Copies of this chain bind each other. A is one copy, B any other.
Amino acid sequence: MKLEFWFEFASTYSYLTAMRLPDEAAKRGIEVTWRPFLLGPIFAAQGLETTPFLVYPMKGRYLLRDMDRRARALGLEFYLPDTFPQNGLLAARVATAALPDPAGMRFCQNVYQAEFAHGQTIADPDVVARCAKDAGLDAEILDRAQTDPVKQALRATTEEALSRGIFGAPSFTVGDELFWGDDRLEDAFDWAAKHG
């Protein structure tokens, strides 16, 4: 069965998944659909004004340490941008417009690296444009990303996430089965392999 990867560009742990997912999925022969969505409306539906990193400072401090350890274990740099969480709306629209083309996947990885390896501001159109260019996407992708059909598609994905019980990122679905967190990727793979 296909695995769906639900991610938001502001999400730290989604960065870990985005970087390791293509290789891990290929190793296991599991087909993955990348589903960019927005956490803002999902948090709002739970009465959260922002990321739990900020709502619960004790937990937030720990999560940064945990992120740092896990990024290091994967050979990834991790740097929390000065502005956190970042506004990933433009990046999510570009990803929506570009996927499922493999260049769209590379774009997502570029955005995560700009944000969490280099501490750049992904709300900046210049940063997003460079991530798109480096991924091999056309120059007009940013304009296309701001058209109504793309905006509407991203809203629909976010509504679908909510309706499928998704409350955080990264999440994985295999049919109706939901997994939450980069540390559940292996469980999700096992589920997909067993119920494929």
Contacts and interface: CB of A to CB of B under 8 A. Distances in A.
Contacts of A187: 69
B58 A165 contact: yes
Given A58-B165, A167-B56, A167-B58, A183 B180 contact: no
Nearest to A180: B62
B59 A167 contact: yes
A66 B167 contact: no
A178 interface: yes
Contacts of A61: 165
A38 to B, nearest CB: 16
Contacts of A65: 178
Contacts of A59: 46, 167-168
A56 B62 contact: no
Contacts of A178: 62, 65
A184 interface: yes
A62 B184 contact: no
Nearest to A183: B183
Contacts of A58: 45-46, 165, 167
A58 B165 CA distance: 6
A195 to B, nearest CB: 12
